[in-house]
Structure 1
Amino acid sequence: MRVAVLGGGHGCYAAAVELSEKGHEVWFWRRGAEAFAPVLERRSIRIRDSRGDREVAIAHPTLSLEEAIGSAEVVVIPLPADTHEDLAAACAPHWRDGQVAFLPPGTLGSILFAQAARAAGNSADVSFAETGTLPYLVRKHGPAEIVVSAYATRLPTGVFPARNAGHAFGLLEQVYPAIERIEDGLSGGLMNAGPIIHPPLILMNAGPLEYFPAWDIHNEGTQPSIRAVTTALDNERIALREALGYRAPHFPLADHYTLDGDEWMYGNAAHEKLTDSGDWREKIDLKTHRYMREDTALGLSMLVSIGRWLGVETPVASGLLAMASAITGEDLYAAGRTLESLGLDTLDRNAMKDFLHDGI
């Protein structure tokens, strides 16, 4: 299949490698010729994972966004949500009928990308899908080198508009067989694990993060008291899903930490693989890191806004968002990825259901 991968993040490099190895013809785009030069010159990326160390050829590394999107049946965008707004506007003129865009994860990016296309005057019938996590636990170890600690084994995914679900899943499942079909784009947004796992870890580890030169929030920072807050926050997410009538499984984050319970998105023992790798021992700037800008500012604001719309209390999400706003000195809800910012807060439940099914 012809697939485009957009972006220069860890997950983007992993997607370009994995999908190339699976036999897809991959167009790999990122902006910035200097940063992308090693891949453009070598036309390959080096990977190390459980299968060993190897070089993987990338068919079409490119600096042309128009070329990448125009060549593809499926477009994979494994980027943080705080990059979505600019990229959605840049992609908007290039979409064409029948294409499927996949955002792993999305934070309602599926709706934002669709809105950007319409705002640009592009009426192509495109399907935008989102899931709960990156398909990879991955870190770049050089300008053209990655290490993958684990691959996703389950990717609960929703499509916007849901009327296109059959077509979209027919293509997506050829690219990511781990995809599991769920109801719609909002259901997909409420599977996002980032706003559940990362805000408690950075906010409740703020002292050591600011004091030590590097700190592993997933190892030293995942203690019982913090896990208790994470579980309470996840229960709020699940309550929102249940209030909307979405079906189980809801992929509770507690399953990520078990060795033999229900399989979570990365399978059993994924937490141990992550901490054993040592790749998440890092310096995290509490004002600029994506755990703050993506998972907290956008992810928690999404949860809080959905709770307000439904009339469902989200005290843990609201409290963590208030703490983050104090740390950054910004009103993160006001600038967040909310139903208000997407222009959806005035819809009643029936109108929301129709919107999610029919699209814009």
Structure 2
Amino acid sequence: MKVCVIGGGHGSYAAAAELSEKGHHVTWWRRDSAAFSSLVERGALEIDDHRGRRQIDVDGVDSGTGGGISIVADLAEAVSNAEVIVAPVPAFAHESLARQLAPHLRDGQVVYLPPGSFGSVVFAQAVRAAGNPADVAFAETGTLPYLARKHGDTRVVVSGYATRLPTGVFPARHTDRALAVLGEVYPAVERVEDALSGALMNAGPIIHPPLILMNAGPLEHFPSWDIHNEGTQDSIRRVTSALDAERIAVREALGYGAPHFPLADHYTADGDEWMYGNAAHEKLTDSGDWRENIDLHTHRYMVEDVEIGLALLSSVGRWAAVPTPVADGLLALAGAVTGRPAATGGRTLENLGLAGLDPSGMRALLHDGPAQ
């Protein structure tokens, strides 16, 4: 299958490597094409995972039967023949990327946002704003398909692969077609009701806000700190569990069914299989790759998971009349830390123009997509 990978972060590197190794032909684009210079000069991307260390040719020729990675500087060219566009970029990049991508999409393509934080609506709105009549399916899931970290510009280390990817599609009328196509790229995809259900599977806004805000002291004191290791203590876990209970309560109020992928299953080896399988937390902490410097003003855990993902959860709670006191409290703390309006400044139903919909209008939007 022809796949375009967008972005230059950890997830994009892992996606380019894995999808090429699976035999798909990958075109790879990022905004700053010059940042690929080391990779192009070396001519290979190195991946290190449970199967060992190996190299994947970059700018290989597609034979029609095998894979290859072709770095393409022009976005229109990169996506022109792609059946699936995988964009594992942070949610704060969605608006600008959506505007760039919107004129170039065509009928039948599937755009995958892992995870999305309701970014599927952002992309669909951008397509309509660009006057592009293409009927595109936008899909989003609850996490990156990889526990991955880049080591320089030519190497990526993957500590774990997702085994379950609950995925919603916008508009939901395209669900059958989109998941059939995505299943060829990511066999771990699992159907959920729609894109809002998929957005409310996002684990980042549940796991990261308590970890960074309740570890603010050591994060600012030490040159590096592992929030998933020393930073994950019983008191913080209790807050995370309470926050996750709010997420699940919102899902249930909206009529979304189980499994809700409770975050508690991420921390245990004997619960239901979570998105990265059982004992995924140990894989993450054992790698050592998450011992890092986290700037509370600029790190994506704040600007993506708090100011976009957690703000979205809180706003959906308001819309559905479901109290979210832990989410609201964390947003208030984040705003005090950064001086920015964390609760209202990011991706909320209000800012998406959807807060005025009644439940039937929301269901219609989620199923049919934005009006032509």
Give unpaired runs (5+ residues) of structure 2: 59-68
Counterpart of 1:330 (choices 313, 318, 340) is 340
Structure 2 residue aligned with 1:232: 242
Q: Which moved more, 1:47-56 or 1:326-335?
A: 326-335
* Contact 1:20–1:57 (8 Å) recurs in 2: no
TM-score (structure 1 length as normaliser) = 0.99
Counterpart in the other structure of 1:111:
121
Cα displacement (A) at 1:332: 1.6
Distance in 1, Cα, partners of 2:122 & 2:340? 22
Q: Is the 8 A contact 1:39 1:61 kept in 2?
A: no
Matches of 1:57 and 1:103, distance apart in 2: 25
Q: Does 1:19 align with 2:29?
A: no
Q: In structure 2, which of residues 277, 286, 294 is the aligned counterpart of residue 276 of structure 1?
A: 286
1:307 corresponds to: 317
Q: In 1, Cα distance between the equivalents of 2:266 and 2:214? A: 19
User: Is 1:184 equivalent to 2:194 in the alignment?
Assistant: yes
Equivalent residues of 1:27, 1:71 under 8 A apart: no
- 1:191 offset after TM fit, Å? 0.2
Task: Report how many residues are paired.
Answer: 360
Q: How many Å separate the matches in 2 of 1:81 and 1:75?
A: 16
- 1:70 has 2:80 as partner: yes
Assess if the C-alpha contact under 8 Å between 1:43 and 1:60 holds in 2. no
TM superposition outliers: structure 1 runs of 4+ over 3 Å: none
| Alpha-carbon offset, residue 187 of structure 1 | 0.3
Instruction: Tell me which residue corresponds to 1:262.
Output: 272
1:203 aligns with 2:225: no
Amino acid of the residue matched to residue 141 of structure 1? H
Give me the TM-score of the superposition, normalised by structure 2.
0.96
1:335 CA displacement: 1.4
Contact 1:43 1:61 in 2 (8 A): no
The superposition leaves residues 45-102 of structure 1 with CA deviations (integer Å, 9 ceiling, x where unpaired) of 1000000000012431111111111120000000110111110111010000000000
The SS at the match of 2:151 is strand
CA contact (8 A) 2:224 2:292 kept: yes
Q: CA deviation at 1:333?
A: 2.2
Structure 1 residues 229-268: Cα deviation after superposition (integer angstroms, max 9, x where no partner) = 0000000000010001001000000000001211100001
Deviates more, 1:4-13 or 1:60-69: 60-69
* Cα displacement (A) at 1:44: 2.5
RMSD: 0.8
Does the CA contact (< 8 Å) of 2:328 and 2:343 recur in 1? no
Residue 85 of structure 1 corresponds to 95
Question: Percent identity at matched positions?
Answer: 68
What CA distance in whole angstroms lies between the structure 2 residues aligned with 1:218 and 1:308?
30
Report matched runs for 1:120-135 at 5 Å: 120-135=130-145
